[in-house]
């Protein structure tokens, strides 16, 4: 029985854990400006994260080693350090965006200015990282994050013309008022929001923390192949409700409150309150994941003891890096940079950093010395190679597009 419960828990956590501030903002912005004509980017991102997470989860289960430990080994310390610097910058940027997301969500609940909430959020986060056991942390916020299913309920209650929605997805048509470069800029943003590197660092390090082994591969695959696609559907429903309510009302999302408006339209106060629980839990959970991933990446590069299965004193440098990353993230939000813009930068830079860790994991997942007979199958490799090309194209195109479109204006 416990295996089934474990499986269900894993899947639910993957759904709840998938959506973060990047998905909430980017899907909201894109839905309100492009309708579902960019849904293909989210779908690509979801397929990509399934592939990437499954590979790195399998590598973690078989080798018992984290992503960055292997990245250094496969690229050498010099290229590994460049890789670590870029990925750490993106993860820390995402950490700041997630903390901004928690603050904005709590502001919507309490109408206390979000900047006043940020230091308290930092404090609570430090306590949770310091004291709460890894599995409790992941499960609670993963389950609570399910409250974002309110977007699915809202979509249902809006009685949309489903065939039209499907048509928008299958036959994407760029709105006339938006330029091609902005269209593809947001395609990369969506792709980066769905296929975020930190989710893979966290997922694989979690596998090592929970001592996964070959027998856990079934649960790992279920988490990935059921949980993430459902999480992706949640992202799509955020964009769908925005396209149904905000687009016709000529509202382009520029702050988090607009993302929740369609829920109030469709389901009133109760559904809105329920969704706010999801906003706070999903962003808080994602903040924890990114915070820990900052620690994981640095500790795994240098070979330090890391992880939450030991007391903080046993992993002193790991916890110090997490603490410093937390201080950086809180300070970044307190600079009063617009948290929504900060989030957009974080998802675009996620897309830039993606190949740096995707490529080494792809190589290791094929190394018989490491994986024995659990190497990639022929189909996985074919798909993984296609995504390697996609990931590199997105990474190379991201920054030029960001400059050309002045971050999507």
For another protein, which is the closer residue by CB, 131 or 173?
A: 131
Q: Which of 51, 46, 52, 57 has its CA nearest to residue 23?
A: 46
CB nearer to another protein: give 169 or 361. Answer: 361
The three-point CA angle 357-346-51 to 5° equals 40
Report how far apart, in Å, the C-alpha atoms of 261 and of each of 34, 279, 305, 352, 401 are.
17, 13, 45, 31, 30
Residue 144 or 264 with smaller CB distance to another protein:
264
Q: How far is the CB of 30 from another protein (least distance, A)?
A: 14
Minimum distance of another protein from residue 319's CB (angstroms):
6
Q: By C-beta, is 1 or 373 nearer to another protein?
A: 373
- Count Cβ atoms within 10 A of the Cβ of residue 152 and give its class: 0-12 exposed, 13-18 middle, 19 or more buried: middle
Q: Cβ closer to another protein: 198 or 319?
A: 319
Angstrom CA distances, 123 to 168, 327, 342, stand at 44, 10, 21
Q: 298: burial class by Cβ within 10 Å (0-12, 13-18, 19+)?
A: buried
Q: Rank residues 170 and 255 by Cβ distance to another protein and give the closer one.
A: 255
Phi, psi dihedrals of residue 408, rounded to the nearest 5°: 85, 15
Q: Determine contact, residues 144/275, Cβ cutoff 8 Å.
A: no
d(CA 45, CA 40): 8
CA distance 409 to 405: 6
Distance of closest approach, residue 249 Cβ to another protein, in angstroms: 5
Number of other CB atoms surrounding residue 77 within 10 Å: 12
Backbone angles phi, psi at 160, to 5 degrees: -75, 165
- CB closer to another protein out of 8 and 82: 82
**What is the smallest separation between the CB atom of 257 and another protein, expressed in angstroms?**
4
- Nearest-angstrom CA–CA distance, 232 and 49: 10
Nearest approach, Cβ of residue 166 and another protein (Å): 26
What are the residues whose beta carbons fall under 8 Å from the beta carbon of 127, sequence distance 6 or more? Answer: none
Terminal-to-terminal C-alpha distance of the chain? 52
Task: Find the shortest distance in angstroms from Cβ 287 to another protein.
Answer: 17
Q: Which is nearer to another protein, 225 or 309 (CB)?
A: 309
**Smallest distance from the beta carbon of 4 to another protein, in angstroms?**
25
Query: Within 10 Å of residue 341's Cβ, how many Cβ atoms?
Result: 15
Q: Work out how close the CB of 382 gets to another protein at its nearest, in angstroms, rounded to a whole number.
A: 8
Q: Which is nearer to another protein, 229 or 260 (CB)?
A: 260
**Shortest reach from residue 378's CB to another protein, in Å:** 9
Closest alpha carbon to 364 in 78, 88, 72, 85: 72
Read off the tokens for 29: 């912005």
CA distances from 239 to 72, 155, 279 (A): 38, 10, 15
- Residue 48 C-beta: closest distance to another protein, Å: 15
* In the complex, minimum distance from the CB of residue 285 to another protein, in angstroms, rounded to a whole number: 16
The residue (of 23 and 107) whose beta carbon lies closer to another protein is 107
Nearer to another protein, 165 or 256 (CB): 256
Cα–Cα dist 311/219, whole Å: 27
């Amino acid at each position: 029985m416990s295996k089934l419960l474990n499986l269900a828990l894993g899947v639910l956590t993957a759904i709840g854990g998938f959506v973060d501030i990047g998905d909430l903002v980017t899907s909201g912005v894109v839905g309100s400006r492009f309708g579902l004509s960019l849904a293909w980017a989210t779908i690509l991102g979801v397929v990509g994260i399934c592939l990437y997470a499954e590979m790195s989860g399998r590598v973690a289960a078989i080798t018992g080693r984290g992503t960055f430990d292997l990245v250094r080994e496969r690229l050498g310390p010099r290229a590994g350090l460049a890789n670590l610097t870029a990925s750490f910058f993106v993860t820390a940027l995402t950490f700041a965006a997630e903390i901004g997301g928690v603050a904005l969500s709590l502001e919507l609940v309490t109408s206390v200015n979000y900047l006043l909430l940020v230091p308290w959020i930092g404090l609570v986060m430090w306590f949770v990282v310091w004291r709460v056991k890894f599995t409790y942390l992941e499960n609670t916020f993963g389950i609570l994050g399910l409250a974002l299913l309110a977007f699915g309920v809202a979509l249902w209650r809006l009685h949309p013309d489903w065939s039209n929605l499907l048509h928008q997805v299958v036959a994407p048509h760029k709105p006339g008022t938006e330029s091609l470069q902005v269209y593809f800029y947001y395609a990369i943003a969506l792709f980066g929001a769905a296929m975020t590197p930190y989710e893979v660092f966290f997922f694989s390090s979690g596998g090592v923390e929970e001592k996964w082994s070959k027998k856990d591969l079934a649960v790992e695959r279920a988490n990935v192949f059921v949980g993430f696609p459902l999480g992706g559907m949640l992202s799509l429903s955020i964009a769908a409700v925005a396209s149904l309510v905000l687009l016709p009302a000529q509202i382009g999302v520029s702050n988090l409150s607009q993302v929740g408006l369609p829920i109030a339209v469709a389901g009133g106060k109760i559904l809105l309150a329920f969704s706010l629980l999801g906003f706070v839990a999903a962003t808080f959970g994602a903040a924890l994941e990114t915070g820990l991933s900052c620690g994981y990446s640095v500790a795994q590069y240098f070979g330090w003891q890391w992880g939450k299965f030991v007391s903080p004193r046993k992993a002193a440098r790991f916890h110090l890096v997490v603490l410093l990353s937390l201080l950086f993230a809180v300070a970044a939000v307190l600079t009063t940079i617009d948290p929504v813009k900060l989030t957009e930068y974080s998802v675009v830079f996620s897309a830039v950093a993606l190949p740096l860790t995707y490529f080494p994991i792809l190589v290791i997942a094929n190394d018989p010395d490491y994986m024995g007979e659990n190497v990639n199958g022929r189909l996985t490799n074919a798909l993984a190679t296609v995504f390697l090309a996609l990931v590199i194209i997105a990474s190379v195109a991201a920054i030029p597009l960001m400059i050309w479109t002045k971050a999507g204006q």
